[in-house]
């Protein structure tokens, strides 16, 4: 599985987890074109990585990523979701997840699945 363009998203309660995950695989992520929602993209950029930042999720960032998926501009999405929280932009989140399914884009919604995605895309790092 070859990945070139990956979106990074995390709900507020999962942002630290996503940053830790990216940091653990920073060498691999630095070879990719990264896109992130507002705060999440900023947090990853603080690691010294290049990230195209879109709007915050609740302000349309999730919809922007769904549009990139629809246009065939993303190969995978790593979206650390908080299943215990309520999110006012849940319809946008559901649309994004649906677009991953419709367009057969790899989707990791937790660390375990994200680890498998990294291993599948880069067996040397796994």
The residue annotated as part of the active site, out of 62, 75, 82, 92, is 62
Residue 84, domain member (yes or no): yes
Tell me the per-residue pLDDT of 19-75, one tens digit each, with 9 for 90 and over: 999 999 999 999 999 999 999 999 999 999 999 999 988 888 999 999 999 999 999
Residue 98, domain member (yes or no): yes
Alpha-carbon distances, residue 27 vs 57, 75, 85, 94 (angstroms): 26, 18, 31, 31
Residue 109, domain member (yes or no): yes
Residue 54, domain member (yes or no): yes
Residue 71, domain member (yes or no): yes
Residue 32, domain member (yes or no): yes
62 noted as active-site residue: yes
Looking at residue 92, its pLDDT comes to 85
- CATH code, 95: 3.40.50.1380
Residue 1 has pLDDT above 70, yes or no: no
**Which of the 8 DSSP states describes residue 59?**
G
pTM to 2 decimal places: 0.93
Residues above pLDDT 90, as percent of the chain:
79
Residue 126, domain member (yes or no): no
Instruction: Please compute Rg for the chain using Cα positions.
Output: 13
Average pLDDT on 89-103 reads 91
What are residue 74's phi and psi, to 5 degrees?
-130, 145
- The residue segments making up the domain with residue 58 are 5-121
C-alpha closest to that of 7 among 119, 114, 126: 114
Q: For the chain, how many structural domains are there in total?
A: 1
């Amino acid at each position: 599985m070859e990945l070139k363009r990956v979106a990074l998203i995390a709900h507020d309660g999962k942002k630290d987890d996503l940053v830790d995950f990216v940091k653990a695989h920073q060498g691999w992520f630095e070879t990719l074109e990264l896109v992130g929602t507002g705060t999440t993209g900023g947090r990853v950029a603080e690691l010294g990585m290049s990230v195209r930042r879109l709007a915050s999720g609740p302000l349309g960032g999730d919809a922007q990523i769904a549009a990139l998926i629809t246009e065939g501009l993303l190969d995978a999405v790593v979206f650390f979701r908080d299943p215990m929280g309520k999110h006012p932009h849940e319809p946008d989140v559901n649309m994004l997840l649906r677009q991953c399914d419709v367009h057969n884009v790899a989707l990791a919604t937790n660390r375990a699945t994200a680890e498998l995605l990294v291993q599948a895309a880069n067996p040397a790092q796994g």
